Structure 1
Amino acid sequence: MPAADQNATPPGFGITLDTAAAEPRVVVTGELDLLTSPQLQEALAGLIADENSRRVVADLTGVTFFDSSALNVVLHAQRQAGERDVELAVVPSPAVSRVIELTGVAEHLSVADDPRP
């Protein structure tokens, strides 16, 4: 029996980059978990590393599930952004907000209400 494809994207998951906007953004839909979090990490790292970035938006309003691996990715990206003097604005869905609230990490994140400035 063949092993499951570890690079398979689950149904309903999507991640898009909008680099044409005044503020580059990553828009995520679906479940952010151990399987999909690396895609978010890669996208955020690329935008944060861009020398022209001063503010990057992580639009997570379409996220339906958010686990500890996803939270770790966002916290790591926040740390990277701070090191590069870039603001990382996280726009959470109710699922993301709940995890942020339950874990008490809100003080370490720049949480925004609206994905657009």
Structure 2
Amino acid sequence: MPAADQNATPPGFGIRLDTAAAESRVVVTGELDLLTSPQLQEALGGLITGKSSRRVVADLTGVTFFDSSALNVVLHAQRQAGEQDVELAVVPSPAVSRVIELTGVAEHLSVSEDPGH
């Protein structure tokens, strides 16, 4: 059997950037965990530091699993956005909302219930 590729994307996971609109969006589907969180970190970090727009939306409505490594990435991105004077809006799925609620970090995030533009 071949060795597992550390950069392999798990089935059902997807990340897409939409920079055509007035606000940049990162749309994620599937599981955000230790394996996939670095991709979210790279995408959000690039949009925030690139300052292509004043508002970045992390659309996590398609996320089915969200662990502490993913939460750490989102919290870091929120802090980074504040330092760059960029607004980061997080649109959570029920799985993401549950982790945010259980950990008590909602006050540190700009959570939006509206995934629309």
Q: Deviations over 1:11-35 (max 9, x none)?
A: 0000000000110000000000000
TM-score (norm 1): 0.97
Q: Give 1:81's aligned amino acid.
A: A
Show structure 1 runs of 5+ residues with no match.
none
Paired residue secondary structure (1:64): strand
Equivalent-residue separation in structure 1 for 2:110 and 2:36 (angstroms): 22
Is 1:56 matched with 2:56? yes
Q: Structure 2: 5+ residue runs without aligned partners?
A: none
Please list, as runs of the form range in 1=range in 2, the aligned pairs for 1:1-117 lying within 5 A after superposition: 2-117=2-117
CA RMSD of aligned residues (A): 0.9
| Whole-angstrom CA distance in 2 between matches of 1:51 and 1:19 | 11
- 1:11-66 per-residue CA deviation (whole Å, 9 max, x = no partner) reads 00000000001100000000000000000000000100123321100000000000
Q: How many residues align?
A: 117
Q: Which moved more, 1:70-79 or 1:48-57?
A: 48-57
TM-score by length of 2: 0.97
Q: Structure 1 residue runs of 4+, over 6 Å off?
A: none
Once residues 3 and 105 of structure 1 are traced to their aligned partners in structure 2, the CA distance between those partners, rounded to angstroms, is: 38
